[in-house]
Amino acid sequence: MPCTIVVGGFYGDEGKGKVVSYLAWRDKPYAAARGGVGPNAGHTVVFEGRTYKLRQLPSAFVSKDTRLYIGAGVLIDPKVFLREVKETGCRGRIWIDGNCGVIEEKHIEEDRKSKHLSGRVGTTGTGCGPANAERALRVLKIAREVDTLREYITDVALVLNEALDSGYSILLEGTQGTFLSLYHTDHYPYCTSKDTTASAVCSDIGIGPRKVTDIILVFKAYTTRVGGGPLEGELPAEKAKEMGILEIATVTGRVRRAAPFNFKLAKRAIMLNSATQIAITNIDRMYPAAYGIKSYDALPKRAREFIEKVEDELKTPVTMISTGPSVEDMIDLREEKLS
Ligand code: GTP
Ligand code: IMP
Ligand code: MG
């Protein structure tokens, strides 16, 4: 598919990193770009026995020939960005837009000191909210003004639109989840500092909606949330632990609150994103016998019944089912379901 967007359907941490890295590894797109808020995100990629927790770089880095980009709407923390370039060995094939906003130490301090932000909203403390506030005031520094970022700067929107016009395929990665959107949450102010839907990813990168061919919405087989705000059907931590679904957050190390899969929210997420496909992750944590399985028929019966219920209720095909944290732990039904 020439232009595919991957976004989260619940409250972030659905496993977008896993899904994007699988797609890159399998399909080897010409280019991949990250949209979303910035280094508040933590995308976990488990590849060739190593675990990467990417806060800035596109998870598609696992495909060695794929060119990597970060769109103009994404905030850059130069320290985090440069550390990840080194860690992944991507220097020479990663570029950022000159218009990316820049997070400075003062934004991180403000985020962490603010009772409203870190106390009430429960932010990640990475400076994203205060930096986006300055962006709205038009006083925030942008990437082209920062010396250490100079060699990475390009016109991301132009490069990617030209790639699409030349018939190359590109993979776009969102961050956070639909219901952390600044606009599309029912729980304001318990949300992030920007929209997080597929439309926002287009705008972050500079690709018009007409060029998008596929929108893959990622859900976990259950729901998790970190930070403040309501979580319908929230399970006591003890119960979540017993069920094997108690998780620790990638960026902040906090415990992720957990609840059963929420069909009502999922339906709304399908609508808000115009999703064309669904990817379900962490099926093995709900149904341990699913771990590492690569074919649908080999899944335990209750896992298959869950997938059928998801398709039935959401009227959208489940084209990928992730059965473990590693890139290759995936049941890929795209050929079967889309032809
Ligand atoms: P944000 O942009 O921060 O929302 O992150 P994300 O959607 O990329 O998810 P994140 O990596 O923070 O969290 C997902 C967690 O689930 C990580 O620890 C992954 O390694 C893990 N994971 C993803 N898919 C699977 C799976 O199918 N099975 C298991 N067991 N773990 C998985
Ligand atoms: P901020 O984006 O750091 O301002 O945090 C605002 C809210 O969004 C808090 O509840 C965070 O826990 C949540 N949040 C932000 N980014 C992520 C993410 O990548 N995964 C999960 N939750 C996130
Ligand atoms: Mg995360």
Q: Which residues contact 229 (CB under 8 A, 6 or more apart)?
A: 121, 122, 185, 187, 190, 191
In angstroms, the Cα distances linking 119 to 74, 174, 185 are 24, 26, 19
Phi, psi for 216 (deg, rounded to 5): -100, 120
pLDDT at residue 260 is higher than 90? yes
| pLDDT of the residue at 12 | 96
Average pLDDT estimate for 270-295: 98
Dist. CA 44 → ligand 3 center (Å):
7
Best probe residue, ligand 1, of 11, 13, 20, 322 (max atoms within 8 Å of C-beta): 13
Q: Average per-residue pLDDT in the chain?
A: 97
Active site residues: 13, 43
Dist. CA 260 → ligand 1 center (Å):
16
Average pLDDT estimate for 275-295: 97
Domains of the chain, first to last:
3-93+153-338 (3.40.440.10)
Query: Could you identify the atom of ligand 2 that is nearest to the CA of residue 228?
Result: 10
Average pLDDT estimate for 312-332: 98
Q: Which one of the ligands is nearest to 20 CA?
A: 1
Dist. CA 275 → ligand 2 center (Å):
22
Residue nearest to atom 18 of ligand 1 (CA): 44
- Residue 20 CA to residue 26 CA, distance in Å, equals 10
Token couple for 52: 């990467």
pTM of the predicted model as reported, rounded to 2 decimal places: 0.98
- Residue 16 CA to residue 96 CA, distance in Å, equals 20
Query: Residue 332: helix, strand or coil by DSSP?
Result: strand
Q: Computed over its alpha carbons, how large is the radius of gyration of the chain?
A: 19
In tens, the pLDDT along 225-244 reads 998 899 999 999 999 999 99
In tens, the pLDDT along 91-114 reads 999 999 999 999 999 999 999 999
Cβ(282)–Cβ(244) under 8 Å? no
Query: For the sheet containing 222-225, what is the strand order?
Result: 222-225, 255-260, 247-248
Dist. CA 276 → ligand 3 center (Å):
23
| pLDDT of the residue at 281 | 98
Q: Which residues contact 331 (CB under 8 A, 6 or more apart)?
A: 293, 294, 295, 296, 299, 320, 321, 322, 323
| pLDDT of the residue at 4 | 98
Best probe residue, ligand 2, of 111, 124, 224, 225 (max atoms within 8 Å of C-beta): 124
Best probe residue, ligand 2, of 173, 188, 191, 192 (max atoms within 8 Å of C-beta): 192
- The residues lining ligand 2, judged by C-beta closer than 6 Å to any ligand atom, are 12-13, 37, 40-42, 121-124, 126, 128-129, 175-176, 180, 192-193, 226-228
pLDDT at residue 61 is higher than 70? yes
Confidence of residue 325 (pLDDT cuts 50, 70, 90): very high
Confidence of residue 44 (pLDDT cuts 50, 70, 90): very high
In tens, the pLDDT along 128-174 reads 999 999 999 999 999 999 999 999 999 999 999 999 999 999 999 99
Q: Which residues contact 54 (CB under 8 A, 6 or more apart)?
A: 17, 42, 43, 44, 45, 61, 84, 88
pLDDT at residue 1 is higher than 80? no
Dist. CA 339 → ligand 3 center (Å):
32
| pLDDT of the residue at 45 | 98
